Amino acid sequence: MLQDSFGREFHYLRLSVTDVCNFRCTYCLPDGYEGRPDRAFLSLDELRRVVAAFAATGTTKIRITGGEPSVRADLPDIIAAVKATPGIRTVALTTNGYKLPERIDAWAAAGLDALNLSIDSLDPAMFHAITGHERLQELLDGLDRALELGIAKGKVNTVLRGCNDNQIDRFLAWLRDKPITLRFIELMQTGDNGEFFRRHHVAGEDLRRRLLTEGWTQTIRAQDAGPAQEFHHQDYRGRIGLIMPQQGLLRHL
């Protein structure tokens, strides 16, 4: 079993298939992708070998990510190749949802088990201001189709910050009848976003305390779970996840 120096076992691998992205999110690529697309990804055969090597060490779950994986025309082939690898039980995908209603059927047919969709606001105007795209309804329609296809492990990622933290009540209301996990991701400070971080950072711990006060219960982590602390509530079909990199950093200082 693959382990680090602390003895932690790795059953889960995030596999970046490209660093290209076609969105211009304010917290990530506000000026758009500026790299070299022709040098931004591994070939399908290289990806097969990487996945096989990790599966041989005990990895059972692969999350296909990027950049934006759907910019690759061969994404269904990648999903199928990962799914066919002996030892791999779960194939997940993180995507911005571009043209999702047109693509999700092919991904499901290729063997996709779980979908993580980035939706930073349920307000169309705010969504456009953050991403540069007027595609909110397209993402919501694609998410509904994924659930219809039986991709039961649906998750929505929302980067929590000063421009959308006033929409938490709206997100919670949405979760009452939506069988997904909504993951609030705390804005992370990097070497070149100091001013942006100071203006927009919202502490995930504040939301965690609110959830516990309002009757949410923390869920026991699965062996191949990601970094989120997950919470459930008897009155909601959906769940809440919190990813708090600042908290994790402080624990290791």
Domain ranges in the chain are: 1-151, 156-253
Instruction: Return the minimum-mean-pLDDT range out of 20-29, 50-59, 133-142, 159-168.
Output: 159-168
* 120 or 160, which is more confident: 120
Where do the H-state alpha helices sit in the chain? 44-56, 75-83, 100-110, 124-131, 136-148, 168-175, 194-200, 204-213, 245-251
Q: Per the omega criterion (within 30 degrees of 0), is the bond before 32 cis?
A: no
* 110 or 228, which is more confident: 110
| Cα(159)–Cα(24) distance, integer angstroms | 14
Q: Is 217 exposed, middle or buried (0-12, 13-18, 19+ CB in 10 A)?
A: exposed
Q: Please state the pTM of the whole predicted model.
A: 0.82
Question: CA-CA distances (angstroms) from residue 159 to 105, 182, 200?
Answer: 27, 11, 10
Is the pLDDT at 248 greater than 50, yes or no? no
Percentage, residues of the chain above pLDDT 90: 53
Architecture category of domain 1-151 in CATH: Alpha-Beta Barrel (3.20)
Question: CA-CA distances (angstroms) from residue 178 to 104, 105, 141, 195, 249?
Answer: 18, 20, 13, 36, 32
| Cα(131)–Cα(27) distance, integer angstroms | 9
pLDDT in tens, 77-107: 999 999 999 999 999 999 999 999 999 999 9
Confidence bin at 249 (pLDDT 50/70/90) = very low
Residue 57: half-sphere exposure toward Cβ, Cα within 13 Å: 14
**Section 61-87 average pLDDT:** 96
**Section 175-181 average pLDDT:** 92
Is the pLDDT at 119 greater than 80, yes or no? yes
